[in-house]
Structure 1
């Protein structure tokens, strides 16, 4: 069963990567504007002053306009930094310091706060490849967020960010897969 889910996930991730690469610049720009609007709504609705987010890569739903707004609004944003042990450290965003990670995604640079820094966040915004209608998140296969979310006893609300066509009826699941509380797409916010 687990092998089947792994195989299905691998195929689905490849399909999603291909679809994401086919989005045009105008479409990506419009999506980024809509996503930023919905993410701002989410932060305001939760009264969040300290959040976690991520630096979006070239073909991901863009968090960049939202991160700029959060910085201007005085919201503390924690950005992830990968560790060799599969966990995530966190740094406070300064809006500028990043480098390309060897796996191809942008990663923040700054003073490492350790995994426990996430415990003080009011809202977690996480990347995903796909989300299903029960709130199960399919990531990119490295397990960073599943381990992080699974280790939190009293976690704040968690919302994933995907394109509209990546919110689907069901995603392949394994035992370690974590649910999220909602999803933000260019067309809106869905709560589970």
Structure 2
């Protein structure tokens, strides 16, 4: 049974990855502007003063403009740093932070490193995803970093996954360790998932 779930996940990830790679530069710019607007409104609505967010890769819905804007407005933003043991360290975003390629080629900050428990202090988590379904189940990219992080938090604040509009789907394959999200942010809308409403 787990093998069948893993095969279904791999097939869906491959399809989503291919679709992301075919997006034009213009489509990516439009998506980043939309995501920035949606995330700004979400942070404002929730009154979040301390958040975590990821730095997007070139094929993901863009988050760099949002992070820069949030930092400029005085919001504390924690950025993830991948570790070999499957956990995430965190670093506080600064206006002039140096960004380098981390594990798996992900953009990650270079600077003072806070341990995995630093994320327990945030008011909102903004995380990457390959897809999210209507029940709030998230399909990640298969490394388990965010499932481990969410599963280990003492008091989990709202968790919103950022995807393209076409990646909010009816159903994703799920396994026992997969963690749901509170809502989804796309370039055109922000949706709270009713079972986990913020």
Pairwise same-fold verdict (TM > 0.5): yes
Deviates more, 1:97-106 or 1:59-68: 97-106
How many Å separate the matches in 2 of 1:71 and 1:90?
15
Query: C-alpha displacement at 1:102, in angstroms?
Result: 4.0
Q: Would you say how many aligned residue pairs link Structure 1 and Structure 2?
A: 192
Who is 2:169 aligned against?
168
Who is 1:119 aligned against?
120
Normalised by the length of structure 2, the TM-score is 0.95
Who is 1:11 aligned against?
11
How many Å separate the matches in 2 of 1:184 and 1:145?
17
How many Å separate the matches in 2 of 1:107 and 1:165?
26
Who is 1:45 aligned against?
45
Q: Deviations over 1:19-50 (max 9, x none)?
A: 00111011111111111000000000111110
How many Å separate the matches in 2 of 1:65 and 1:83?
25
Kindly report the root-mean-square deviation, in angstroms, between the aligned alpha carbons of the 2 structures: 0.8
Map 1:7-86 → 2, pairs under 5 A: 7-86=7-86
Q: Deviations over 1:133-176 (max 9, x none)?
A: 00001100000000000001311100000000000000000000
How many Å separate the matches in 2 of 1:47 and 1:41?
10
How many Å separate the matches in 1 of 2:67 and 2:155?
25
Secondary structure in 2 aligned to 1:77? Answer: strand
How many Å separate the matches in 1 of 2:157 and 2:103?
30
Query: C-alpha displacement at 1:52, in angstroms?
Result: 0.0
Query: C-alpha displacement at 1:101, in angstroms?
Result: 2.1
Secondary structure in 1 aligned to 2:160? Answer: strand
How many Å separate the matches in 2 of 1:131 and 1:82?
22
How many Å separate the matches in 1 of 2:126 and 2:176?
22
Who is 2:2 aligned against?
2
Q: Deviations over 1:39-84 (max 9, x none)?
A: 0000001111100001100100000110111011111100001111
How many Å separate the matches in 1 of 2:123 and 2:103?
30
How many Å separate the matches in 1 of 2:190 and 2:103?
32
Normalised by the length of structure 1, the TM-score is 0.98
Who is 1:138 aligned against?
139
